[in-house]
Amino acid sequence: MHEMSIVEGIRTVIEEAARANGFSKVTMVRLEIGRLAGVERAALEFAFDVVLRGSVAEGASLQIFDLPGQAACFDCGKTVEIEHRLDLCPECGGARLLVQGGEEMRIKDLEVL
């Protein structure tokens, strides 16, 4: 389950931010995760609670914003929203798509004390 290592990375970022900015408690973590990022939401939520125990973010709420998958279609020239990497273009049915968004995952912001 790679979600555990993702949350370990989030914990590292939070702890470094706490040291650099002098806060001692995180009450909310907001993440933006693209639909094509390959992250299992339920596994991430479980890992979040487990991995953040004993950190400045222990007990913090987690809010996840889903970002749409986007691709450029070489057949019709449009930028389209897709659910899965191998989707056909919803505009023209073409299969020649280049993914341009939805693979990202980032910490949007933190609420801290």
Q: Is 101 annotated as a binding residue?
A: no
Tell whether 73 is in a known binding site: yes
84 carries a ligand binding annotation: no
2 is annotated as contributing to ligand binding: yes
CA dist 31 and 34 (Å) reads 10
Q: Are 67 and 34 in contact (CB under 8 A)?
A: yes
Task: Establish whether 92 is an annotated binding residue.
Answer: yes
Binding residues for Zn(2+): 73, 76, 89, 92
Annotated binding-site positions for Ni(2+):
2
Q: Which residues are annotated as a binding site?
A: 2, 73, 76, 89, 92
